[in-house]
Amino acid sequence: MSDNVFIQSIQVAGWPLVGGLPQQMQNALRRADDFIRLAVFVGARAIESVPLANIGPAEIGIFLGTTTGPLETNFRFLDTLFDDGEGRCSPTLFSHSVHNAAAGYLARLLNVQGQTLTMTSFGWPFLSALCEARAALVKKEVKVALVLGVEEESPVLIFDEGGGLEAARACRKGAVAWLLVDEQTAEISAVARLLDVLLEEHPCDPGFFFNRAGELVAPGITENCSQYPSALQAAVVLSKKVEDCSLGGESELAWGVEAPCGKASIFIDF
Amino acid sequence: MNISEGSVAISGLGCISAAGRDVEEHLQTFVERSIVPAPVPGRLFETSLPYPVFAVGPDPLSPWSRALLENLQPKISLIELSRTSLLVLDAALQAIRSAGLNLDKLQKKRVGICLGTTVGCAFNDEEYYRTWRRGGRPCAAPIFRYLGGNIASVLQAILCLRGPVGVITNACASGTDAIGVAKNWLNTDRCDLVIAGGADALSRIAYNGFASLMLADPDACRPFDQSRKGLNLGEGAGIMVLAKIRQDDRPALGWVHGYGTAADAWHPTAPHPDGRGLQAAIKKAVADCGGGIKKEQVSLINAHGTGTPTNDLAETTAVAAVFSQDSLPPLVSTKGFTGHTLGAAGGLEAIFTLLALAAGESKGSFRCGNPDPTFPYQPMSQGVQVALNGKIGISESLAFGGSNSCLVLEAAS
């Protein structure tokens, strides 16, 4: 049995969502927050890109990485606690403030019954999720892995470089989804083959995570991705680079990111 | 011993909860059976709600842990750490000592850290947010503490370790998943050892959240009992040191043979009524043992057993569906001793499972005087004690989001 893992589809989305959520999901998402909507938007598009008629629900997994989870929902829950008092908080907001709420929604709406794993780190959570998803495919735990990075910034936590609260600015939201498949499931339209993901994260000055100054990606630059949350920009650069290389007829890509919080390398061929 | 290719050794254990500050104290509590939940200590947070909790004492660090940490070079500031981080540190140091390791030895190895949490990854500084909401300019210190407070990174920084780090945030299954992911890391040679498990401190946010969902019991929780009304929250940490199996190592305390996880794809907070995902997770965990273990060899199931009406019914339904009438392992819940410790639960309960398997006996679920007769699988009631017919058991976790995860564990003889 082959250990090959293929990237079948890549989706990137900022906020507001362009194109809207799938019609058949809108009722189920009526109480969902933006974090969940982002995850469902990119996740549904990624998974719909490949016919999965022969794949059972238990053979599909979801691997989601995030730095802070649904921060705004967390604060909305606090609002209900402060304004309405104990015993009168919103149960919906509480259940949606849990970091794996988005993965749970995705599992329900896409009928995914395999592994669902949500990982939280301030470094590169999308790459952490990618690493675990690839391992699950190699182990034959799943045949299809939906890998997501979902981020939302909150005005509550935005500071300037001096440590003072920045003047209010638009907070960015965004998500990336990759659909990974095993060799048997891969379609001829697969974007690329994911050879390896090497990730080393280590402690650093937490100030880095405010604006991620000094995060270097190669090839690519994060400056072109300023519409996305800073914690997602490396994942967006990588996603666009993979798509560009695929369309441009490249044979391989060795991509890396380095920052005070560690380094990562992704190896792909086409 | 039923070692398969994917089995990993359990070299060390560390745990802290309201039921004890270490493994020995937990064992004593399990014998005495006198622990009761109490009103939320004012030192943690003020509340007007009536739900009791299982709280750890004021200082999560034992004198031994505190002395060790205060003597580390470079110096660390313990007052900057969250309560969840302190719980992790204490249990991790216990586990490292139990494994016969010290920091010098650890620092020469590739040591992964894989931890599950829920409260430990949330920004819940109420004072900061109140100030911000009023249009004030709060001090940035809580933000720095939050951004520097990833519990796996904190442990890695303080112990000066190198290796993969991960924080699993699969709600109440996080601790079990962290141990499962750690097993995979060892199987794929990402590291030599992993410090794995879960931790969570009590928080006013989660306390109010569970109250809002009407899942909390105003009295002591009674998992699996006919009169059960809900859960009591607790806090703690359960940490294992996991290692690759080598013949020349010191004797293992036991093994993690299998890990299985599956989604219900059903509801944000309620389990599938048939425990669909849990059934799949149990089967996958047994299959992950590589054929070396059959479900008939399972001699104990430590249930998630929160005491909520829906959880306990779904869980017994799933277990009944998986285990045939001629193989009915005892089913117990330990949450009557600890409360529901959220992200810590999977770590703590994996340890409790191993301890019961090592002892070769199990008592029924604490405060389950009358198991619900509608359950399709009858859990052991309080007062019943059985000798286990083997050393292999399962620890189960269910979670919001429909996650279900299981570990197949074996205690050394």
Full 3-state SS string of A115-176: CEEEEECCCCHHHHHHHHHHHHHHCCCCCEEEEEEEEECCHHHCECCCCCECCCCCCCEEEE
CA distances from A53 to A1, A22, A57, B266, B380 (A): 21, 19, 10, 21, 43
Residue entry with tokens 């090959």: A4
Cis before B50? omega within 30:
no
From B110, which residue of chain A is nearest by alpha-carbon distance?
Answer: A200
Q: Tell me whether B160 touches chain A (CB under 8 Å).
A: no
Residue B413 has what pLDDT? 87
Write down all domains in chain A, each with its CATH number in brackets.
Answer: 5-191 (3.40.47.10)
Which chain B residues contact residue A164 at CB under 8 A? 137, 140
Angle formed at CA A196 by CA A192 and CA A198, multiple of 5 degrees: 135
Read off the pLDDT of residues B12-50 as tens digits, 9 standing for 90 and up. Answer: 999 999 999 999 999 999 999 999 999 999 999 999 999
Of A117, A138, A205, the CB nearest to B170: A117
From B267, which residue of chain A is nearest by alpha-carbon distance?
Answer: A108
Q: Tell me whether B45 touches chain A (CB under 8 Å).
A: no
Residue entry with tokens 């909790």: B53
Q: What are phi and psi of B197, to 5 degrees?
A: 155, -145
Beta bridge partners, A165, equal: A159
Of B140, B213, B263, the CB nearest to A159: B140
Task: Suggest the residue from B143, B184, B340 to mutate for an interface test with chain A (most A CBs closer than 10 A).
Answer: B143
Which chain B residues contact residue A104 at CB under 8 A? 263, 268, 400-403
C-alpha to C-alpha distance for B282 and B286, rounded to whole angstroms: 6
Q: Tell me whether B131 touches chain A (CB under 8 Å).
A: no
Residue A91 has what pLDDT? 96
Test B263 with A107 for CB contact under 8 angstroms. yes
Of B170, B261, B266, the CB nearest to A108: B266
Sign of dihedral through CA atoms B145, B146, B150, B153? Answer: negative
Amino acid, single-letter form, for residue A230: S
In chain B, residues 174-203 whose CB comes closer than 8 Å to chain A? 177, 181, 184, 187-188
Amino acid, single-letter form, for residue A229: P
Q: Tell me whether B33 touches chain A (CB under 8 Å).
A: no
**Residues whose CB is less than 8 angstroms from the CB of residue B159 and which lie 6 or more positions away in sequence, other chains included:** B92, B103, B106, B107, B111
Which chain A residues contact residue B152 at CB under 8 A? 121
Read off the pLDDT of residues B110-143 as tens digits, 9 standing for 90 and up. Answer: 999 999 999 999 998 999 999 999 988 888 899 9
* Catalytic center residues of B: 172, 304, 340
Write down all domains in chain B, each with its CATH number in brackets.
Answer: 8-411 (3.40.47.10)
Q: What are phi and psi of A129, to 5 degrees?
A: -65, -40
C-alpha to C-alpha distance for A76 and A89, rounded to whole angstroms: 10
Per-residue pLDDT of chain A (270 residues; tens, 9 = 90+): 578 999 999 999 999 999 889 999 999 999 999 999 999 999 999 998 888 778 999 999 999 999 999 999 999 999 999 999 999 999 999 999 999 999 999 999 999 999 999 999 999 999 999 999 999 999 999 999 999 999 999 988 876 555 455 555 568 999 999 999 999 888 878 889 999 999 999 999 998 998 898 899 999 888 889 999 999 999 999 999 999 999 998 899 999 999 999 999 999 999
> Can you tell me the ipTM of this complex?
0.97
Task: Suggest the residue from B76, B111, B147 to mutate for an interface test with chain A (most A CBs closer than 10 A).
Answer: B147
The Cβ-side half-sphere exposure at A122, using a 13 Å CA radius, reads 29
- The tokens describing B72, both together, are 């580390």
Residue B73: band (very low, low, confident or very high) from pLDDT cuts 50, 70, 90 = confident
Beta bridge partners, A66, equal: A120
Q: What proportion of chain B, given as a percentage, has pLDDT over 90? A: 88
C-alpha to C-alpha distance for A252 and A261, rounded to whole angstroms: 26
Residue B2 has what pLDDT? 77
